[in-house]
Structure 1
Amino acid sequence: MNGSMKLGKIASLLALSSAEDEKEIYQIGADLGYKLYKGKVGSMDSTKIFAAVETAAKKEGLVKALYREEHAIYHSVLEAYNAICRGQLGLGNVLRSVGLVFSIVRGPRIPGDYEDGEWIAVALYGNMGAPIKGFEHEVIGLGINPV
């Protein structure tokens, strides 16, 4: 199974994982040369989602305070966010809220292939809908960019 565990798949599985499976995914990712992080964010304000993921990436050492690295994480979040919003970028201003689990994975695009440099993947998974309990549905998004 490990041979088929590329960057985006690890990020997606980590975001979707239960507490029991999370440890195994962290171990597989580390064995393949990836750095991983999983967190949570919820908001009606998209800037809080971007800030939560970017802050976690910096705090956990997944990106440095360099333009190209911050640019890579920003665009990975933007791609994943665009996917969960189905191309309609907006939450609170259109009365939508989200509760998300996010994962950040950094490493080679394909395990062991460092000739292509490092890449960063962001997966978002959770619920989106009207800010009323029970008026939401599942969403998932993935963004991958070179560092």
Structure 2
Amino acid sequence: MTQKLRIGKIATLLAMLEEQERASYSSLLQDVQCCEGKVGSMDMQKVISAVETAVKRSGLIQDGIYRETHALYHAILEGLEGITRGQWAIGEMMRTVGLRFAVVRGEPYVDSGEGEWIAVAFYGTIGAPIKGLEHETVGLGVNHI
């Protein structure tokens, strides 16, 4: 069950790298599907919805297939747990996030029987809703489809 792709690493790099930094990493994207986006909010549901909407619009998952939506949802929640340090709240705790996200879908294992997996990475800032009082944060969630 050796891994052939590190979809979590790829997602994290995509979320963290600026556009001009990405050129040297383009070879990592050959065997995966991905989409990216940005979201800023004090509402956790808006963050979840932004990722889900971007993924569905890009065709990364099939909207009518429950297991794909379910896998995405759990990967999002796992990534947000890292962002919020296990306290699943932002606005309720008077904090806001400004995040870039990347979602990567692929077959990370050599054995094709292991199927496809999805990784959701977030990178950005979290903090009090006062400009300049936020700090960096990162989160990653990986789930099987």
Determine the structure 1 residue equivalent to 2:7: 7
Give the Å deviation of 1:29.
3.2
Give the Å deviation of 1:4.
7.5
SS at match of 2:113: coil
1:75-90 paired onto structure 2 within 5 Å: 75-90=74-89
| 2:99 corresponds to 1:100 | yes
Determine the structure 2 residue equivalent to 1:71: 70
Q: Hey, what's the Cα distance between the residues in 1 that align with 2:93 and 2:141?
A: 23
Give the AA of the match of 2:97: V
Give the Å deviation of 1:20.
1.5
Task: From 114, 117, 120, give the equivalent of 2:115.
Answer: 117
TM-score by length of 1: 0.90
CA contact (8 A) 1:15 1:124 kept: yes
CA contact (8 A) 1:105 1:121 kept: yes
Give the Å deviation of 1:5.
5.2
SS at match of 1:115: helix
Map Cα deviations across residues 33-79 of structure 1 (whole Å, 9 max, x no partner): 10011110000000000000011111101111211000000000000
Q: Hey, what's the Cα distance between the residues in 1 that align with 2:21 and 2:113?
A: 31
Give the Å deviation of 1:22.
2.6
Q: Hey, what's the Cα distance between the residues in 1 that align with 2:53 and 2:20?
A: 26
Determine the structure 1 residue equivalent to 2:46: 48
TM-score by length of 2: 0.92
Q: Hey, what's the Cα distance between the residues in 1 that align with 2:114 and 2:24?
A: 26
Give the Å deviation of 1:94.
1.0
SS at match of 2:22: helix
Give the AA of the match of 2:135: H
CA contact (8 A) 1:29 1:36 kept: no
Following TM superposition, where does structure 1 have runs of at least 4 consecutive aligned residues deviating by more than 3 angstroms? Answer: none
CA contact (8 A) 2:4 2:108 kept: no
Question: Measured at CA, do residues 81 and 74 of structure 1 come closer, stay the same or move farther in structure 2, by a change above 3 Å?
Answer: same
Which blocks of at least 5 consecutive residues in structure 1 are unaligned?
Answer: none
| 2:40 corresponds to 1:37 | no
Which blocks of at least 5 consecutive residues in structure 2 are unaligned?
Answer: none
Give the Å deviation of 1:113.
4.5
Equivalenced residues, count: 142
SS at match of 2:97: strand
